[in-house]
Amino acid sequence: MSTEAKAAPRKRSKRLPLTYVIAIVPVAAALNIVGGYINGVLKLPIFLDMIGTMVTAVVLGPWWGALVGAITNIVSSFISGPIGLPFAVVNVAGALVWGYAHSMGWMRKNWSFFLVNILVATVCSIFAVPIYVFIFGGATGHFSDVMTAAFLAMGQNLIVSVFSSNILVSLADKIISGYVGLAIIEALPTNLTETTKLPKAEGLNKIIIPVVGVVVGAAIILIFLALQ
Amino acid sequence: MQGIVIPITMVPGNSTIHRMNPLPKLLWTLGILALSFSTRNIAVLGVAFLIGLLLVFYSGITKAYVRVAMILFPISLTLITLQSIAPAFPRPWTAIVGFGPFTIYQEGIYSGISLLLRIMAMTTWAMVTIMTSHPSDIFTSLKKIGMPYVLNFIFVMTLQLIPILQSEFGIVLNAQKSRAMKGSGFGAILPSMVPVFVGAIERVQQLSISLESRAFGSSGQKTSFRQVRMAFSDYVALFLGFLVPGAATYWVIVDKSLDWSHSMVFSPAFAITLVLGATIGFLIFVFFAIRAALSA
């Protein structure tokens, strides 16, 4: 067997021309920003600003995804003010979890793909909550502030309340982002996706039921714990 | 991850701040960001906010700034309400007065006001920089001080792609509507992301070929269409941008007497008025948020 045949397959980002990779990053970052913008205009109870991050992290690798995440929040601070700037850390963390989970083969099966998105949501919340609480005092004008107030009314402290509301929103957001990202990856040219190992994209109608199930389940657990 | 997106663009003008090189403006803004994150003293944050406001009036961007401030208003209301009843401060907290099932705390009022001033100070200074500088000028200036060309290209491309992708979303949504599919709300937005992104990626291949043909990534001096020059006054502003916010940040970190969270006393009447006003505004925000979420 030749040396070439024995060698491990090169990373996608190394096989593709650098100019191609560099041109994909702004597209993904712009998609994140536009997704976040549309979400803000429609006042949807999620974020939708990590779909491009997920696609890049899986297709090009975790650190390219992290770059997209950082650029998303830096550039959006130029068009929407500096409130989102500290949350770049959250976008980067999400990219690293998606990217490394994919490179470790944790996203091959339908169930494991679903679990990875839940893991991403949890990691993102862990990074986001200190920013919410210690920089913005628990509120950024998002729909989740309403839930934070509800958890406070149940007698929880601010950190637990912000985490409870954030994890619910984050679970819905990351699972939806993961599956929209999956549909995008499936539609991409094969030179980008030939080495990706992912389950087949499901129709969004099939995803909504498990998403609602997970969020409602988490909400019941959190409300139960808050009332204890 | 932020909850709100406010479209902010450059407001054309000919004020001294408009004519200033973007670098000193960026440095001052970063300095105020560092200062704001380093303190919770309401006097320091208030002064930073007021100076920012003066710059807003002076540079003639008041109208655009007020629009942004009005969008930030719900955030300030939620902050005051949440902080008053659950301060982001270590316990013990000093109770001022009861408020229905809740208690309003001394530290909560202080925390709410200081966090609000922090957001307003940061946003005001950032708005002055963004609304008085052309984005390309900002990145051209950053390139001059050694920001990698590739990173610069990515930033500029991202800014240029945002309106293109936005208009493509509109086209896809209209196409969905014309085929009797859902054209607005949650159910329409998510499926439209796939054709928009894939279409953009297909165009990236052409962009990549153009970049290759123009020897992107080769070594040598890079030129820029927009030329940005540094005047003597810009160097002075740059020097002061290092000195003033740097010294102020050092002072607020070192001087422990600036922690007024326990020494500042708020009367029950003031606390009730502030929290009641913020709560009414907060409930109106909740009503509109829920209505928008249900109709999406």
CATH number at residue A156: 1.10.1760
**B219 contacts chain A (CB < 8 A):** no
Q: A3 lies in a domain?
A: no
Q: Do B72 and A81 touch (CB under 8 A)?
A: yes
How much of chain B is helix, strand and coil, in % rounded to 5?
70, 5, 25
Residue B227: pLDDT band (50, 70, 90) is confident
Q: Which of B5, B88, B127 sits opposite A137 (nearest CB)?
A: B88
Q: Do B186 and A44 touch (CB under 8 A)?
A: yes
Side-chain-side CA neighbours of residue B239 (13 Å): 6
Least confident interval from A78-82, B27-31, B62-66: A78-82
Is A155 part of a structural domain of the chain? yes
List, as ranges, residues 17-36 from B with C-beta within 8 Å of A.
33
Residue A1 DSSP SS3 = coil
Q: Is A226 on the interface with B (CB under 8 A)?
A: no
Minimum-distance CB partner of B204 among A20, A39, A45: A20
Band (B37; pLDDT cuts 50, 70, 90): confident
Chain B CB contacts of A40 under 8 Å are 3-5
**Interchain contact, A137 vs B196, CB within 8 Å:** no
Q: Is the pLDDT of residue B294 over 70?
A: no
Q: Which domain holds residue A19?
A: 12-227
Distance CA(B292)–CA(B296), nearest Å, equals 6
Contact at CB, A19 and B217, closer than 8 angstroms? yes
> What pLDDT is attached to residue A89?
95
Number of Cβ pairs < 8 A linking chain A and chain B: 246
Task: Note whether residue A119 is domain-resident.
Answer: yes
The count of structural domains within chain A is 1
Q: How far apart are CA A107 and CA A2, in angstroms?
A: 31
At residue B78, does pLDDT exceed 70? yes
Which of B186, B197, B212 lies nearest to residue A184, judging by beta carbons? B197
Residue A4 included in any domain: no
pLDDT value at residue A220 = 78
Residue A194 lies in a domain: yes
Other beta carbons within 10 angstroms of residue A77's beta carbon come to: 20
Q: Are B194 and A52 in contact (CB under 8 A)?
A: no
- E strand or H helix that includes residue B104: strand B102-105
Per-residue pLDDT of chain A (228 residues; tens, 9 = 90+): 444 444 445 555 566 778 888 888 999 999 999 888 777 767 677 888 899 999 999 999 999 999 999 999 988 887 776 778 889 999 999 999 999 999 999 999 888 998 999 999 999 999 999 998 888 777 776 777 778 877 877 777 888 888 888 888 898 889 889 988 998 898 888 888 888 888 887 766 677 777 777 777 777 777 777 666
DSSP A4-32: HHHSPPPPHHHHS-HHHHHHHHHHHHHHH
Question: How near does any CA of chain A get to the CA of B70, in Å?
Answer: 12
- DSSP character for A198? -
Cα–Cα distance, B12 to B15 (Å, whole number)? 9
Closest residue in chain A to residue B73, using alpha carbons only: A141
Using the Cβ of B202 and the Cβ atoms of chain A, whether some distance falls under 8 Å is answered with yes
What pLDDT does A203 receive? 66
What gap in Å lies between CA B248 and CA B221, rounded to an integer? 38
Interface check A69 vs B, CB under 8 A: no
Q: Is the pLDDT of residue B190 over 60?
A: yes
pLDDT of residue B218: 75
How far CA A142 is from CA of A47, B120, B221, in Å, comes to 9, 17, 45
Does the beta carbon of B81 lie under 8 angstroms from any beta carbon of chain A?
Answer: yes
Beta bridge partners of B105: B95
Any domain includes A174 = yes
Predicted confidence at residue B48, as pLDDT, reads: 96
Mutate which of A34, A39, A51, A182 to test chain B, going by most B C-beta atoms within 10 A?
A: A34
Q: Give which of A87, A134, A158 to mutate to test B binding, by max B Cβ within 10 Å.
A: A158
Tell me the chain A residues in contact with residue B197 when contact means C-beta distances shorter than 8 Å: 27-28, 31, 51-52, 55, 184
- Residue A1 inside a domain? The answer is no
A135 contacts B40 by C-beta, under 8 angstroms:
no
pTM equals 0.80
Contact A187 B296 (CB under 8 A): no
Is residue B103 scored above 90 in pLDDT?
Answer: no
